[in-house]
Structure formats: structure tokens, C-alpha cells
Amino acid sequence: MSRPGTARPGSARLGSARLAAVPQLPDFVLTERLGSGTYATVFKAYSKSKRRQVVAIKCIQKSNLNKAATDNLLTEIEILKNVRHPHIVELKDFQWDRNNIYLIMEYCSGGDLSRFIHSKRTLPEYLAKRFGQQLAMALQFLRSKNISHMDLKPQNILLSSRDNPVLKLADFGFAQYMGDEARMTSLRGSPLYMAPEMFCNTKYDARVDLWSLGVILYEALFGRAPFYSRSYAELEVKIRDTRPVEIPQGIQISGKCRDLLLGLLQRDPNQRITFEEFFNHPFIDLEHVPSHDSLDKAVAIVTEAVKYDEEGSHAEAVKKYCDALEYFVPAVHYETDESKKDVLRKRVMEYMARAEELKSMIKPAEEEEPTNEDGEDDGREATPKEAETLWEMAGSCTRLHQALKRAAIAELRAEHELYDSALEEYKHALEELLSLLEAEPKGRRRDLLHMEVEKLLNHAQAVKDYKNMMKRDAPRLSDSGERYNDSRDDMNRCVVQ
């Protein structure tokens, strides 16, 4: 095995692709260099004919191309020419001259997902879920055309912008047309994100993309890939190990998220969840992805909720209000007009408040268990085992019950991306819990209370950080094309043809 950053014999990996001078194209003005990768240098450019159009131009020196690299490039162009999808970077055109081939791509100003994750250290689950949905839609589209990406990793996933980013799958240099029965033997991709069967077996198939998706989701949630290593030798040992991938302790995730991770990160591809199971998984929840009909669905359901409410059928009304919220939140994301977004957010707040009010009428607050819309114990699946008993140990302490309820509401509102309201609830819950903690005598309940406070402080800070990041005047995320810079990769691309 080669060391990180080195090529294998027979590899399609080439030397540095840095161009001596900025190329000249008749229709574009090339400006800043975004980065350099295996055999391409990428520039930000402006169109001369289309006013204010910004693009990214990937320049490939012909002299660097061996047969394997040429085949990969031709496949990339062929695939990108024939795909148009909101979550796949667009190939606008391609040109060539005596020295270079130019891929004129959609420009994504938000940088890549790797940079985004590293800047935040970890992503909150609701953001990881949103990104997972977008990747699922892109992959579902590719599967409908029998295309496998073969090099899924955060560096190959771009963000459309710095505020309210949309993911765009990019870099199809290793992509292949592969039906369900197709098998491959050549090693391709990035080792840190490469499925074990690519190393351990002589053949593999499209299911390697599912493993890579699991690694990406894992890294987004926990800050590191499951096989993170300081050397290639260490990485190879971890990949060839037969023990199951473990979910780290200390960062709380929902049961649905845990189930998806463990399903994707099965070493044996025959035990891994299928593409269909992935697309239909309740954590991915493609039914509630933002779309043009999200608002219509929300309005139809909330109309039923109001009817039940007026009739005094409170339990039915609560269920319908919560069902409607599952569509209202995507509707907010889909709306592009900021004034309309604000109106929708206010409606979400009103319906959520009414649902909470009705819940308290159905069951006294002192006895109420914190639940989310799915009727599951809120956070119970994700809370460390020692903290699960805090609600039970609250006993007759009404203040503690109320504070824990406010904390549950804060978590729910954060999940629905009502960040200002969530932070307000976190503030009140933490003020009360800190006051109770100060007066609580030493013992088991004090320990659990301390753990709950720590958890809520971390969650509130994550919401605050994300909210600040979404502001237009937030510190700029790098759009310097780090995805093309091999020095940012944990392990450089290796290919054997």
C-alpha cells in the first residue's frame, strides 16, 4: 500500500496540474485561482457575453492526461452533459484548445462540505438530516440513470452559497454507468470514504456509494470519519478489520439517525441497507423534502386541524397540527421571498403554540411526558442511559418538570428551525435548571441534572452558531475551491486501472 499522498503503480493519478499562466478563453475573464487537484486547476471566471454570470472553469492540461485519466474525463463530461438536477453541479459547456480542455461549471460560492464541517466542528442533527435529504435526492436521480458516483466525500460536495446553503454533488471523474448487476474490480475513490469491499474483495458494485454516504453523515455528526487515521497503514488496518463500526458516545443522536448510520456502515455489502431502503428511511424522510407542493399539503392538513380544534376534538387536532408542521417547515425552506418566509414562520409558530396548548389541556403538565410529533419519547433514544431517569426522578418537583418541558420544546423548535424561539426556550429552561442545580443536594439526581444542563448548553450554542453562520454578514466560508486541493484531503485519491 502506498503512503498518503502517493500514487500506486499503474495509477491514473498525475503530477501537479498547476498551470504556469492563467489560460485565455475568448468568452470569459478568468480571475482568482480556486484550487488545484490531481490533474485540473480551477478558476473563478466571468462571462463576457452574459452580464454578471459567474462560473467555475476547470482547466485540464492535455499533456497530463494518460489513457486512464482521459477515459475518466470523457465519462465525466458524458455524464454531466446528460444530467440536470438541483443537487448536482451543472456543466454549462466544455471547450478545448491546443493545450487544455475546459469544463465550464456552475459556480458555488459556499465552498465544499468538508470545509463547512471543519469550520463548525460538528453539525447539529437537523442540519445533517437536511443535507442527507439533498444527497439522497441527487443519488436517487443518478440511480434512475444507472450512474454510480464512486467518489462520494465531503470535498466533492459543494455548497451553493454561504447563507442557506444547498448541496451540489460534484467531481464525477470516477463515475460510471452501472446497472444493478454490474461489478467492478479497479480501485478508485478516496480511501477514507472507500467501502471495505473495494479493498477486501476482488469485485464490488454500486453499493459502495451507500457506504460513502454513511461515512459523510458520520463525519458531519461527529467531526471525523469512522476510520480516521494518521497514516495509510493505520487506515488499512481499520478498513480490513471485521468489527462493526461503532457510534461514538457523548454526542446525542436520534434513534432514526443511529439506525440509518448503522445500516449504511455495514462492512458486508449484503448486510448493508439497499438503495430503496435508504431512500425510504424515516430519517431521510423524502416525503417532507422542501418542494413546490409543500405549502399546499401543509394548508390542507392544517385546515383539518382547525376543524377538529373547533369541534373540541383536541387529540385529533394536535395530531393534525403536528402533521401540518412537517410540511410547513419544508415550505419555509422552499420559499425564496424573505417577506413570505417570515409570514410562514409566524404561522408555524402559531400552530406549534396551539398544539402545545392543546397538549396541556389533554394531559396535566405535571404528568406530561415530553413527546415529539412522532409520539416518541423526546430525546430518549439519544440521551445517555444515565440521564433517561431524570424525568422519573423529578418526582413532585413542578419546577423541574416545567423546566424539562421547556427544554423539550426548545429542542423541538430547533428541529423545526425556529431558531429565535428555540434560543428563547433554551434560555428560560437553562435559567431554571441552573437555579435548581445550585440548590440540589449531592446525589444521583444532581448528577443527572448537571448532565442535562451540559447537553442543553451545547445544543443552544450549536443553534446560536448555526443561526449566526446563516446571516449574510457572517464570516465568509472559504469558496477557494478547497475540494480541488489535495493538501486538504485526509487521504489523496488512489486509482488502479
- Our CA dihedral for 204, 205, 209, 214, rounded to 10 degrees, sits at -60
- CATH 3.30.200.20 domain range(s) in the chain: 28-107
Higher pLDDT, residue 316 or 480? 316
The DSSP bridge partners found for residue 96 are 101
What pLDDT is recorded for position 182?
Answer: 53
Q: Which of 117-126, 217-226, 316-325, 468-477 has the lowest mean pLDDT?
A: 468-477
- Checking if the pLDDT of 143 tops 80, the result is yes
Report, as residue numbers or ranges, the catalytic residues: 151
- Residue 477 pLDDT > 90, yes or no? no
pLDDT at 188: 59
**Is domain 298-362 in CATH 1.10.357.140, yes or no?**
no
Q: How confident is the model at residue 369, as a pLDDT?
A: 42
Q: Which three cell numbers stand for residue 439?
A: 440548590
What's the rounded mean pLDDT across residues 341-350? 86
Q: Could you give the angle at the alpha carbon of 104 between the alpha carbons of 99 and 108, nearest 5°? A: 135
The interaxial angle of helices 338-362 and 294-311, nearest 10 deg, is 30
Residue 257 or 466, more confident: 257
How much is the pLDDT for 379?
37
Please answer whether residues 85 and 434 qualify as being in contact, where contact means their C-beta atoms are separated by less than 8 angstroms: no
The overall average pLDDT reported for the chain is 79
- Winning range, highest mean pLDDT, from 100-104, 227-231, 236-240: 100-104
Predicted confidence (pLDDT) at residue 187 exceeds the cutoff of 80: no
Residue from 472, 373, 468 nearest 423 by CA: 468
pLDDT at 376: 40
Q: Determine the CATH number of domain 363-472.
A: 1.20.58.80
Q: What is the radius of gyration, based on Cα positions, of the chain?
A: 25
Q: Please, which pLDDT band fits residue 133 given cuts at 50, 70 and 90?
A: very high
Residues 383-419: tens digit of each pLDDT: 444 445 676 677 778 888 788 888 888 877 777 677 7
Buried residues in 390-426 as b, exposed as e (16+ CB within 10 A): bbeebeeeeebbbbbbbbbbbbbbbbbbbbebbbebb
Q: Which residue has the higher pLDDT, 412 or 28?
A: 28
Lowest mean pLDDT among 145-159, 321-335, 380-394: 380-394
Residue 212 has pLDDT above 90, yes or no: yes
H or E stretch at 264: helix 255-264
Report whether pLDDT(353) > 70: yes
**Position 361 pLDDT exceeds 90:** no
What are 261-283's pLDDT values in tens digits?
Answer: 999 999 999 999 999 999 999 99
Which secondary structure element, helix H or strand E, spans residue 305, and what is its range? Answer: helix 294-311
The answer to whether the CB of 403 falls within 8 A of the CB of 429 is yes
What percent of the chain has a predicted confidence (pLDDT) above 90?
A: 32
Q: pLDDT at position 270, please? A: 93
- List, by residue range, all CATH 1.20.58.80 domains of the chain: 298-362, 363-472
Q: Which residue has the higher pLDDT, 75 or 395?
A: 75
Q: What is the pLDDT of residues 416-459, one digit of tens each?
A: 677 788 888 888 888 888 888 888 888 778 888 888 888 888 78
pLDDT at 462 over 80: no
Which residues neighbour 420 within 8 Å (Cβ) at sequence distance 6 or greater?
Answer: 467
pLDDT value of position 261? 96
**Half-sphere exposure at residue 206, Cβ-oriented, CA atoms within 13 angstroms:** 21
Tell me which CATH code domain 113-288 carries. 1.10.510.10
Delimiting residues of CATH 1.10.510.10 domain(s) in the chain:
113-288
Question: Which fold does the domain 28-107 belong to in CATH?
Answer: Phosphorylase Kinase; domain 1 (3.30.200)
DSSP string, 349-403: HHHHHHHHHHHHHHS-TTTPPPB-TTSSBTTTTTS-GGGTTHHHHTTT-HHHHHH
Residue 366, pLDDT score: 37
Whether residue 256 is annotated as binding a ligand: the answer is no
Q: Which residue has the higher pLDDT, 162 or 487?
A: 162
pLDDT higher than 60, residue 371: no
Residue 179: pLDDT band (50, 70, 90) is low
Q: Residue 363: what pLDDT?
A: 56
